[in-house]
Amino acid sequence: MQQLVEGGSRRWGRLPGRPVSVNPLDEYAGIFRSMRRWRLKEWVGFTLVHPELYSSLIVQDAAYLASSQIYTAESGVLTEHSRNAAGGSLRPPEVLLAGGHVEVRKPGYLISYDFSSDSHTIKIEVDGSATAATIRGTLILDATAESAPLTVSSHLAPPRSDARMFTYKAIFPVYGTLVVGDRTYTFDSARDLAIIDEHKSFFPYRTHWRWGTFATMTVEGPVGANFVRRPELPGEPEESCLWVPGSAEPLADICFERGADKTWNIASADGRLDVVFTPEGRKGLKHQLGLAAIDYFQMYGTYRGVLRGRRRAYDLDGVHGVCESMKARF
């Protein structure tokens, strides 16, 4: 599959993998293309799975504002850094997995991703501040051992009938080191994982979602889940799945319920996803930029419960992951 959009016609549904080239603007021409450019929201982020550390990082471009964030958390200590940039300056490339490069470089802040056919590299060089430690490291993702991908191209719910989503997500074994302050964390590809989250989407002007993801290594390979609750059009595929060895099994109709003890009960209507998330901390972001606004938080913590794949079930306990909430006017 070479392109998401060919000859002005876009591919829809759950796709077998990420197209070589993804540019949702190719569906439009002339002034309509220029107008849609201001609605396009793009990002590439990673959730890192390590037994001693919680960590996520992202590079994103929302047309009117571009930004990057990274955080680590261990033993109740949250280290967080971010930088803003001019809108349009951090757009991820159309061709990502075959030689793509994503970078944000600011004084004292460098995050870069380099993608190739057999490995992907995350490089982090972030200086410390009065309130947050230095973060430095290089992590290598084994692209030859990638999980089955979750790739979805779908229409989103009204009130904007032209709202569209593209996402690509997958799990990779990862190795390398991450240094946070005076602490060094070694990543072992036989144990540790990185979950990629790429979006190129036109969201409704007012949008909200709840989303989570986690993964763990088993003797059969990586196992995990990605799940979301947002306004959906009937019959459209959701960006939810169970990752089991060799497959990304579709999920739908996800329910998030907050427990009395601050946990979250998360389940699919068919019971194949049935987990409890216990948060250990959170980081948040609030922006008010004229008509645009973002009210966002991501919690990091552990999952327990069960994944019921088509062939077998997987019991979970203490699996690291994240769970987030987004309310925005784009």
Does residue 19 sit within a domain?
A: no
Does residue 5 sit within a domain?
A: no
> Which tens digit of pLDDT belongs to each residue from 151-171?
999 999 876 568 999 999 999
> Which tens digit of pLDDT belongs to each residue from 189-235?
999 999 999 999 999 888 888 999 999 999 999 999 999 999 888 88
What tokens appear for 206 in the block? Answer: 């007012």
Does residue 148 sit within a domain?
A: yes
> Which tens digit of pLDDT belongs to each residue from 283-314?
877 766 666 667 788 999 999 999 999 999 99
pTM of the model: 0.96
> Which tens digit of pLDDT belongs to each residue from 79-133?
999 999 999 999 999 999 999 999 999 999 999 999 999 999 999 999 999 999 9
Side-chain half-sphere exposure of 137, counting CA atoms within 13 A = 24
Does residue 160 sit within a domain?
A: yes
- Give the structural domain span for 185: 29-329
Does residue 16 sit within a domain?
A: no
Q: How many domains does the chain have?
A: 1
On whether the CB atoms of residues 181 and 128 are closer than 8 A, the answer is yes
Torsion, Cα 42 179 146 66, to 10 degrees, reads 0
Does residue 11 sit within a domain?
A: no
What tokens appear for 118 in the block? Answer: 């057999």
Does residue 49 sit within a domain?
A: yes
Strand partners, 288: 293
Does residue 164 sit within a domain?
A: yes
